[in-house]
Chains A and B, each alone.
Chain A
Amino acid sequence: MKPKEPILEIRGVNKFFPGIKALDGVHLTIRPGEVHALIGENGAGKSTLVKILTGVYFPTSGEILLDGAPIEFKDALDAQSAGIAAIHQEASMFPDLSVTENIFMGHHLIHPATKRIDWKGMKRHTRELLKRMELDISGDTLVKNLGVAQRHMVEIAKALSLDARVVIMDEPTSALTLREVEDLYKIVRQLKREGKAIIFISHKFDEIFEICDYFTVLRDGKYIGEGSVAHSSVDEIIRMMVGRSLDQLFPKSDSLLGEVVLSVHHLSQTGFFRDISFDLRKGEILGFFGLIGAGRSEVMRTIFGIDRASHGYIELKGEKVSITNPRSAMKQGIAFVPEDRQNQGIILQMSITRNITLPQIHDIAKASVLNNSTEKRIAKEAGEQMEIKAAGYHVDADTLSGGNQQKVVLAKWLATHPEILILDEPTKGIDVATKAAVHEFVSTMASRGLAVILVSSELPEVMGMSDRIIVMHEGRITAQFEAKDADTDEIMKAATGHEEEAV
């Protein structure tokens, strides 16, 4: 059967940012009625490519073809009218507006005669849409009153309402339960029948093999290859993704586990997590796995003192402690690398040196007065340990690549000589080489006695790095595994709420 003419084609697209080449000669061919997987690790360039497809960024060079003819999207609206819609990973919604309005913002329905907004029509449309997706939400609810998963479904509804020809789904199932994922598949298959094309971005191979027809692999911003899903294997795809085979990726060394340094008892925070209890030993890497919205980051933030717990307590080395702010956490030897690097982990407009010394300024200063040479020395020591690549430590952090920025964040915390290091999605958005370096470094520090908590949504990472894995789902711990007993299926079941027994 002759393959259909492509709706959308990307040829040789490059994208530069000041100091960074995000995309290098990328190709992509999307045909109608096809579910096309866009595969690549964090930082491979997928989100940049999506932003170009949706008109948010302009390609620095290269071609985009719509129905065979070259096209340039002036802006997001232009791409939308061309029939390209994207569903984003982070819900980008208007919290004070209703579900109906969130769906229709930018293209409100208008009465042809009176030229005024057709609220009735939009509400009716929304009701039908929500019914079609089997969602139990009222169109009048304000988005700020919805939960994370619900917001995600509204995002999907939004794209559907645009009658797009190409629907881009960026990690659409990360916050959904198993049943909601099935519903999503139903919608995807329906769209296929209607002749729409779907670009499906996902980490999860079971999904890719379940629902996708074709795939394209990106790595380090470059086009690596493409193929039909039915004619490929997981190993082939992984090799294209990472350039190496799986077991070369995680240089985990076995370490001797020491005494318990952290003991969490029935920790709860109303609305976010409940009854969290676990122990952490010296030299141990404890992995925390779960879907987005499971509550892992919230638990860690509470341990670090950013947020307050409503119940429960923490013990450090057997003694009960009360941690009410980050500084007291730091004094107790806890360090925290947050998930949101650019807004919470690093200060982009400050130099590398100043970023590294920031948590310690009070200790460095004599009578509150800072000393340049002392700062430079401390920063250099920590930075060299992490092998930060920069033109000099006086440069602002925003000139660094994502990977180097993360190295600065790690250097910053390691310079405080912590006993407990909490990492929240530490390899998100960085290149593969730096990712391996980070893993190696964490392993080494653990073998020297550092106690590590690793929060991650990448199953291979969690399984490869951890001595023990705790799985959370909707605010509760649903399972605990020793690394050697860990089974992918069991972990996924626990993460999606299918594990009935609590630990």
Chain B
Amino acid sequence: MRLIRILRAAVARREISLIILIGVLLALVTMRAPMFLSGNNIQRIVNDTVILIMVSLGQLLVILTGGIDLSVGSIIAFSGMSASLINQAHPAIPAALILFIGVLVGTALGMVNGAVVAFGKVPPIITTLGTMSIFRGFTFVISKGQWVTAHEMSQSYMNLPHGDFLGLTNLIWWGVLVSVVMMYFSTYTRSGREVYAIGGNTTAARFVGVSERKIKFMIFTISGFLSGLAGVMWTARYAAAVNETATGFELQTVAACVIGGVSIAGGSGTVAGVILGGLFIGIINNALPVINLSPFYQMFIQGSIVLLAMLINTLADRRQEKMLLNRRRS
């Protein structure tokens, strides 16, 4: 029947299966702890995950072109630290302006990545491996090894991610804004589509006039922008700017992408997928303490999930290929 065919095609789409998976996950956890599905808890989970989602959307663009950005954690740390230090030294400066400065810092760092990759032709993995150290090192330098704690931050700064507009926090609204913009960018702008082209077939893309340099520079800048935003929000939310902030965060962003169906080779993946992937990770992270699993298990579980997600991706691709071959010549 047609209905069954439509359903089957729908499930084949990664986004739909993710939604179902998330539903199943929520159901399982809620059975163990009924409090999990309360409105408050959901809001808390989303709040926790927005930062991951925003930075993962930046990572999405980089992965789409066949690269990877390992420096996001360091950019978060550096911009967060810069913003906090400025706030500490000049509490009179309005929080909004500090947010702006933090974002600017992140964008600048992203441009460094972009320049080295696009113009220096250094592979993204090496570039971001290097800048990962460089930016983190600079974080230590500007902080002189000290932390900025809640006592040294102004109230308005720490309030940046909070607030209550139509029942949602500022942070969540930022997340919504970023998601909408990214969705628009990736679907309705030429540059957005050209990102897919570069990752899908770089030579063909160049043939039709897509500027590899421009696109690669742009995506790293955007990734830096989002990481900068995340950095300010992070330090404001946890009311602390620490040198080790967001260490290892890059893996989580890649995980969100992989779970969301993004191909590591580049050329395919959606914004919606990444958002769902991020939510999936957020739910798991929050479910651990609830089902009495020690938080020390987090690293192991994350690594396993990413591996599993990639395995599923690979096997699904293989099956599709086989089906196609069977259909073609018979």
- Beta-carbon contact of B325 and A271 below 8 Å: yes
Task: Write out, one digit per residue, whether chain B residues 65-94 have a CB within 8 A of any chain A CB (1) or not (0).
Answer: 000000000000000000000000000000
A105/B205 contact (C-beta < 8 A), A96-B268, A97-B196, A274-B329 known: yes
Q: Which residue of A lies closest to B328 (CB)?
A: A271
Q: Which residue of B lies closest to A118 (CB)?
A: B188
- Beta-carbon contact of A77 and B209 below 8 Å: yes
A88 and B188 CA atoms in complex are apart in Å by 28
List residues 228-282 of chain A with CB under 8 A from any CB of chain B: 270-274
- Beta-carbon contact of B208 and A80 below 8 Å: yes
A273 and B210 CA atoms in complex are apart in Å by 37
Task: Write out, one digit per residue, whether chain B residues 297-330 have a CB within 8 A of any chain A CB (1) or not (0).
Answer: 0000000000000000000000000001110110
Task: Tell me, yes or no, whether B189 is within 8 Å of chain A by CB.
Answer: yes
A272/B197 contact (C-beta < 8 A), A95-B267, A117-B187 known: no
* B67, chain A: closest CB distance, angstroms: 16
- Beta-carbon contact of A92 and B200 below 8 Å: no
| A94 contacts across to B, CB distance below 8 A | 196-197, 200-201, 204-205, 267
Q: Which residue of B lies closest to A56 (CB)?
A: B207
Task: Tell me, yes or no, whether B193 is within 8 Å of chain A by CB.
Answer: yes
* A117, chain B: closest CB distance, angstroms: 5
Q: Which residue of A lies closest to B269 (CB)?
A: A96
- Beta-carbon contact of A272 and B329 below 8 Å: yes
Which of B187, B207, B328 is in CB contact (< 8 Å) with A147? B328
List residues 157-195 of chain B with CB under 8 A from any CB of chain A: 184, 187-190, 193-194
Q: Which residue of B lies closest to A79 (CB)?
A: B209
* B305, chain A: closest CB distance, angstroms: 24
| A80 contacts across to B, CB distance below 8 A | 208-209
Task: Tell me, yes or no, whether B121 is within 8 Å of chain A by CB.
Answer: no
Task: Tell me, yes or no, whether B206 is within 8 Å of chain A by CB.
Answer: yes
- Beta-carbon contact of B201 and A92 below 8 Å: yes
Q: Which residue of B lies closest to A142 (CB)?
A: B268
> How many residues of A are in contact with the other chain, CB < 8 A?
33
Which of A95, A97, A116, A474 is in CB contact (< 8 Å) with B329? A474
- Beta-carbon contact of B204 and A93 below 8 Å: yes
Task: Tell me, yes or no, whether B203 is within 8 Å of chain A by CB.
Answer: yes
- Beta-carbon contact of B329 and A96 below 8 Å: no
- Beta-carbon contact of B208 and A105 below 8 Å: yes
| A77 contacts across to B, CB distance below 8 A | 208-209
- Beta-carbon contact of B188 and A101 below 8 Å: no
- Beta-carbon contact of A270 and B201 below 8 Å: no
- Beta-carbon contact of A110 and B209 below 8 Å: no
- Beta-carbon contact of B197 and A270 below 8 Å: no
Task: Write out, one digit per residue, whether chain A residues 106-118 have a CB within 8 A of any chain B CB (1) or not (0).
Answer: 1110100000110
- Beta-carbon contact of B200 and A106 below 8 Å: no
A95 and B268 CA atoms in complex are apart in Å by 9
Specify the main secondary structure of chain A where it touches its partner: loop
A80 and B206 CA atoms in complex are apart in Å by 12
- Beta-carbon contact of A97 and B208 below 8 Å: no
- Beta-carbon contact of A96 and B188 below 8 Å: no
List residues 6-27 of chain B with CB under 8 A from any CB of chain A: none
- Beta-carbon contact of B204 and A92 below 8 Å: yes
Specify the main secondary structure of chain B where it touches its partner: helix
B: interface residue count bin = 20 to 34
Task: Write out, one digit per residue, whether chain B residues 204-242 have a CB within 8 A of any chain A CB (1) or not (0).
Answer: 111111100000000000000000000000000000000
Task: Tell me, yes or no, whether A475 is within 8 Å of chain B by CB.
Answer: yes
Q: Which residue of A lies closest to B267 (CB)?
A: A96
Task: Write out, one digit per residue, whether chain A residues 266-301 have a CB within 8 A of any chain B CB (1) or not (0).
Answer: 000011111000000000000000000000000000
- Beta-carbon contact of B189 and A116 below 8 Å: yes
Task: Write out, one digit per residue, whether chain A residues 431-464 have a CB within 8 A of any chain B CB (1) or not (0).
Answer: 0000000000000000000000000000000000
| B263 contacts across to A, CB distance below 8 A | 96
A94 and B66 CA atoms in complex are apart in Å by 13
A474 and B196 CA atoms in complex are apart in Å by 32
| B208 contacts across to A, CB distance below 8 A | 76-77, 80, 105-107
| B328 contacts across to A, CB distance below 8 A | 147, 271
- Beta-carbon contact of B268 and A271 below 8 Å: no
Task: Tell me, yes or no, whether A145 is within 8 Å of chain B by CB.
Answer: yes
Task: Tell me, yes or no, whether A75 is within 8 Å of chain B by CB.
Answer: yes
Which of B189, B201, B207, B267 is in CB contact (< 8 Å) with A76? B207
* A290, chain B: closest CB distance, angstroms: 14
- Beta-carbon contact of A76 and B206 below 8 Å: yes
- Beta-carbon contact of A105 and B326 below 8 Å: no
| A272 contacts across to B, CB distance below 8 A | 325, 329
- Beta-carbon contact of A75 and B209 below 8 Å: yes
| B203 contacts across to A, CB distance below 8 A | 92
A466 and B329 CA atoms in complex are apart in Å by 29
A119 and B189 CA atoms in complex are apart in Å by 11
A271/B329 contact (C-beta < 8 A), A92-B201, A96-B196 known: yes
| B324 contacts across to A, CB distance below 8 A | 144-145, 271
Task: Write out, one digit per residue, whether chain B residues 139-153 have a CB within 8 A of any chain A CB (1) or not (0).
Answer: 000000000000000
- Beta-carbon contact of B267 and A105 below 8 Å: no
Q: Which residue of A lies closest to B204 (CB)?
A: A92
| A92 contacts across to B, CB distance below 8 A | 201, 203-204, 207
- Beta-carbon contact of A95 and B209 below 8 Å: no
A selection of 5 A-B contacts at a CB cut-off of 8 Å is: A88-B207, A96-B200, A96-B268, A271-B324, A271-B325
Contacts A97-B196, A105-B194 aside, 8 further interface pairs with beta carbons under 8 A come to A56-B206, A75-B209, A78-B209, A96-B263, A97-B267, A117-B187, A145-B324, A475-B329
Closest 6 CB pairs of A and B: A77-B209, A271-B325, A106-B208, A92-B204, A94-B200, A96-B268
